[in-house]
Copies of this chain bind each other. A is one copy, B any other.
Amino acid sequence: MAETEHTEFDCLKIENQLCFPLYACSKEVVRRYKPYLDELDLTYTQYITMMILWDERTTNVKTLGKRLYLDSGTLTPLLKKLEAKGFITRQRSKEDERNLVVHVTEAGMKLRERAVDIPAKVGKCVNLKPEEAKQLYRLLYKILGRIDGPEK
């Protein structure tokens, strides 16, 4: 005899879901960034936005949205906040006025120096071996439909 009853509803048990640990884990990991990001006066979403800008210097809302999986409804107010803090500038493109060009300021670039230790600090809190982290990375990007890594 089985110890546990099985029914047609087993598929609806939370322990049989893949989506739930994904959802919970994402929130927990983001939470671990918070104390470090607070020091920089950045939220997590602002932080990943700055990551793009630290690397690219200039981009626009559409590209940011595609790379970060966010839409203008999220990005517009977020970018206004980053602008208010003096980390970025926002201006319409001369060639195509629909296009909003986002550019990192000097103050924004200076933030990078203070952020450089954050990934290692948070990484230490995640108890995965390097090989496991690589596996996880690969599986996540497989779900995202980009087999070997992020879109550029």
State the oligomeric state as a number of copies. Answer: 2
- A interface with B by C-beta (< 8 Å): 8-9, 11-30, 33, 44, 48, 51-52, 54-55, 67-69, 112, 115-116, 118-120, 122-123, 126-128, 132-133, 135-137, 139-145, 149-150
Known contacts A11-B116, A33-B19, A116-B8; A132 and B127 CB within 8 A of each other: no
Residues of B within 8 A of A139 (CB): 128, 132, 135-136, 139
- Among B12, B18, B30, B149, which residue has its beta carbon within 8 angstroms of that of A133? B18
The 3 A-B residue pairs whose C-beta atoms are closest, nearest first, are A26-B26, A21-B140, A24-B69
Residues of B within 8 A of A137 (CB): 18, 21
